[in-house]
């Protein structure tokens, strides 16, 4: 299998931007307030809706493995639909952000904050709302699940697309304009193709992340409301309730197969196809053999025939005169100032309203004492994430360097690491829980590793990629001057992989926060283990249907994650980029 370059969903948001000098911009504060307003609004709506779900079609009642193919199909269809919605979001939201000088900074700050909101938190506060859209039917539950997956996929895709739109080479844009392409035609013929390679990488990353949440989203209870959609997730939920280890192994097997099929049929062909959009590519770059699925598609001409009507329609659309709206009317300075005042005024009012609404909501329900308690819990979870990332780094960095310097070993280990990162680790939780129960271990400590079970691989495969990218020259220099042992690690290996390691660690850290909601509380049959932490707090509040506390937990986690990113990861990432990036 081919080596994949290091990727991180977090890279885009850390890359230098206009506000790179500022730690927290006014836009961040406005965006944070708007997100709080959104969370509170949904919490209020959800609480006031009568729970309509007494008669949802029953959850799967059988653990017959023969049901699994159908369940797997349903689960992966949900993923695919969510991916479609995410693409739609990406093309509109990111384009708007890139093209509108006025909305851009706010939209990007908003995206950054949204990316810090725990994904299972989204589903906790929106599920009742979605169910109420189609009372008594499955459709609402499907919507809720798709929405949850969407929130795990969309943000980083939009970030990547936004970054690409901002970095289209000037000459290409100019060529498009000189030769008379309309804005619409330039978007599809120049900007989107240019953005394609990095967008596809981000789609793959999103897909990996999505498996984790689709499994969690298919079987969830908020208060008296229970979702149980036919799918692998609910199958596992049932298996856990019935303590059926065989069923769990079957489910793990099914998941493996589904991920492999996605990889072979969808992503490998897509990545190979996207190579043509790479702008820096030279003839004679080590071009791997195209994957079999792409070859079959190309040779059969099936895609050509299917795509023909679409292409014809697009070609027709390029020829249309752009509507008059597309050319902005020149504004006098006074009008511009007036509309600026209006816009900033509106924004300030919206932020103030969100603040007021949040104050009313939380002030009513939450005491100072409780807030302190939640902050303490957040600190516990923070401690867990920090310790685990440090441990995982200490373990995987040397191993990654060792592997990365040996091409043949790399060829074996790298794809496995990437596969493990895509595998929804929550499938393994039952196994871990039964072990903890069997050995009577302390859940405060021993539940913690679950948080990093799936995310540690990002560190490993990024370090491997970094080590295999160390130039031959460096290694010759080291050999020639007899740089060995500690000096070799300190002066050559660690600095060379540092930027890659940071990329991996940032992704692992973000993922672990998200996983804490599932990992700090775990069930096996009627046994429930709970660790003290913010994740468990949100999970508990979700089970009780206590919206004030769900909302509080979500807001606190989003704030903590944003602050950790700004105060720690972003400076570190910039430093690594500046000092250690080769090229």
Question: Which residues of this protein are in contact with other proteins, per CB under 8 A?
Answer: 169, 171-172, 174-182, 185, 189-190, 193, 276-279, 281-283, 315, 318-319, 327, 579
Closest approach, Cβ 322 to other proteins, in A, equals: 11
Closest approach, Cβ 109 to other proteins, in A, equals: 23
Q: How many CB atoms lie within 10 A of CB 268?
A: 20
**Residue placing its CB nearer to other proteins in the complex, 189 or 475:** 189
Distances from the Cα of 561 to the Cα of 113, 324, 539, angstroms = 9, 44, 18
Closest approach, Cβ 329 to other proteins, in A, equals: 13
Tell me how many helices (H) and strands (E) the chain has.
28, 4
**Residue placing its CB nearer to other proteins in the complex, 176 or 511:** 176
Return d(Cα 94, Cα 99) in angstroms, integer.
9
User: Using CA atoms in the order 229, 231, 236, 237, what is the torsion angle rounded to 10 degrees?
Assistant: 0
Q: Comparing C-alpha atoms, which of 507, 490, 479 is closest to residue 401?
A: 490
Q: Comparing C-alpha atoms, which of 392, 387, 393, 389 is closest to residue 494?
A: 393
H/E stretch holding 220: strand 219-222
Closest approach, Cβ 278 to other proteins, in A, equals: 7
Q: Comparing C-alpha atoms, which of 513, 509, 512, 478 is closest to residue 494?
A: 478
Q: Comparing C-alpha atoms, which of 10, 165, 191 is closest to residue 94?
A: 165
Closest approach, Cβ 469 to other proteins, in A, equals: 22
Closest approach, Cβ 336 to other proteins, in A, equals: 14
**Residue placing its CB nearer to other proteins in the complex, 179 or 439:** 179
Return d(Cα 127, Cα 229) in angstroms, integer.
13
User: Mapping DSSP to helix (H, G, I), strand (E, B) and coil, where does residue 1 land?
Assistant: coil
Closest approach, Cβ 313 to other proteins, in A, equals: 14
Return the CA Rg of the chain.
25
Q: How many CB atoms lie within 10 A of CB 286?
A: 6
**Residue placing its CB nearer to other proteins in the complex, 178 or 289:** 178
Closest approach, Cβ 147 to other proteins, in A, equals: 33
Which contacts (CB < 8 Å, 24+ apart) does range 239-247 have? 239/63, 239/430, 240/430, 240/523, 240/524, 240/525, 241/523, 241/525, 242/63, 242/525, 243/524, 243/525, 244/63, 245/430, 245/431, 245/434, 246/63, 247/63, 247/65
**Residue placing its CB nearer to other proteins in the complex, 89 or 580:** 580
Q: How far is CA 220 from the centre of its chain?
A: 20
**Residue placing its CB nearer to other proteins in the complex, 176 or 454:** 176
Distances from the Cα of 353 to the Cα of 37, 112, 555, angstroms = 8, 21, 17
Return d(Cα 412, Cα 492) in angstroms, integer.
24
Closest approach, Cβ 142 to other proteins, in A, equals: 36
Q: Torsions phi, psi of 227, nearest 5? A: -105, 135
For 78-148, strand residue ranges (E) read none
**Residue placing its CB nearer to other proteins in the complex, 47 or 275:** 275
Closest approach, Cβ 546 to other proteins, in A, equals: 50
Instruction: Find out whether 237 and 401 touch, Cβ atoms under 8 Å.
Output: no
Closest approach, Cβ 177 to other proteins, in A, equals: 5
**Residue placing its CB nearer to other proteins in the complex, 190 or 508:** 190
Closest approach, Cβ 324 to other proteins, in A, equals: 13
The encoded tokens of residue 121 equal: 């938190």
């Amino acid at each position: 299998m081919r080596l994949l370059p290091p990727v991180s969903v977090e890279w885009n948001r850390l890359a230098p931007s206009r506000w790179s000098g500022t730690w927290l911009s006014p836009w961040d504060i406005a965006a944070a307030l708007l997100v709080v307003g959104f969370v509170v609004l949904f919490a209020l709506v959800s609480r006031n809706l009568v729970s309509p779900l007494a008669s949802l079609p029953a959850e799967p009642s059988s653990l017959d493995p023969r049901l699994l193919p159908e369940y797997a199909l349903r689960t992966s269809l949900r993923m695919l639909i969510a991916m479609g919605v995410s693409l739609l979001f990406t093309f509109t939201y990111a384009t708007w952000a890139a093209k509108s000088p006025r909305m851009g900074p706010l939209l990007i700050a908003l995206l950054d904050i949204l990316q810090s909101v725990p994904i299972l938190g989204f589903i906790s506060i929106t599920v009742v709302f979605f169910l109420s859209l189609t009372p008594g039917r499955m459709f609402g539950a499907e919507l809720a699940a798709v929405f949850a997956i969407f929130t795990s996929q969309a943000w980083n895709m939009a970030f990547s697309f936004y970054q690409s739109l901002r970095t289209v080479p000037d000459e290409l844009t100019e060529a498009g304009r000189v030769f008379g392409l309309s804005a619409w035609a330039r978007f599809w013929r120049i900007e989107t193709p240019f953005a394609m390679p990095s967008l596809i990488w981000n789609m793959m990353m999103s897909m990996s992340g999505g498996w984790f949440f689709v499994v969690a989203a298919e079987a969830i209870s908020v208060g008296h409301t229970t979702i149980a959609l036919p799918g692998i997730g609910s199958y596992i939920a049932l298996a856990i309730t019935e303590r059926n280890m065989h069923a769990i192994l079957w489910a793990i097997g099914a998941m493996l197969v589904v991920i492999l099929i996605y990889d072979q049929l969808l992503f490998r062909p897509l990545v190979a196809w996207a190579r043509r959009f790479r702008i820096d590519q030279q003839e004679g770059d080590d071009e791997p053999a195209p994957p079999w699925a792409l070859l079959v598609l190309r040779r059969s001409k099936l895609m050509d025939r299917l795509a023909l009507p679409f292409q014809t329609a697009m070609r027709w659309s390029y020829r249309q005169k752009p509507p008059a709206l597309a050319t902005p009317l020149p504004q006098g300075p006074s009008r511009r100032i007036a509309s600026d005042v209006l816009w900033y005024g509106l924004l300030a009012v919206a932020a103030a309203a969100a603040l007021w609404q949040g104050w009313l909501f939380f002030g009513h329900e939450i005491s100072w004492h409780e807030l302190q308690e939640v902050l303490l819990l957040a600190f516990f979870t923070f401690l867990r994430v920090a310790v685990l990332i440090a441990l995982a780094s200490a373990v995987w960095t040397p191993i990654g360097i060792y592997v990365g310097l040996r091409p043949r070993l790399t060829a074996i280990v790298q794809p496995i690491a990437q596969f493990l990162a895509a595998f929804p680790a929550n499938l393994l939780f039952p196994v871990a829980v039964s072990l903890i129960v069997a050995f009577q271990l302390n859940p405060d400590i021993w539940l913690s590793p679950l948080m990093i079970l799936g995310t540690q691989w990002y560190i490993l495969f990024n370090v491997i990629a970094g080590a295999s990218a160390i130039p031959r020259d460096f290694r010759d220099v080291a050999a020639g001057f007899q740089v060995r042992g500690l000096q070799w690690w300190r002066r050559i290996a660690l600095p060379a992989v540092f930027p890659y390691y940071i990329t991996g660690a940032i992704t692992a850290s973000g993922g672990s926060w998200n996983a804490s909601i599932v990992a700090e509380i775990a069930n096996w049959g009627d046994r429930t283990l709970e660790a003290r932490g913010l994740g468990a707090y949100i999970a508990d509040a979700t089970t009780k249907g206590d919206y004030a506390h769900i909302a509080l937990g979500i807001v606190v986690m989003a704030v903590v994650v944003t602050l950790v990113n700004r105060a720690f990861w972003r400076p570190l990432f910039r430093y690594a980029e500046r000092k250690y990036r080769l090229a």
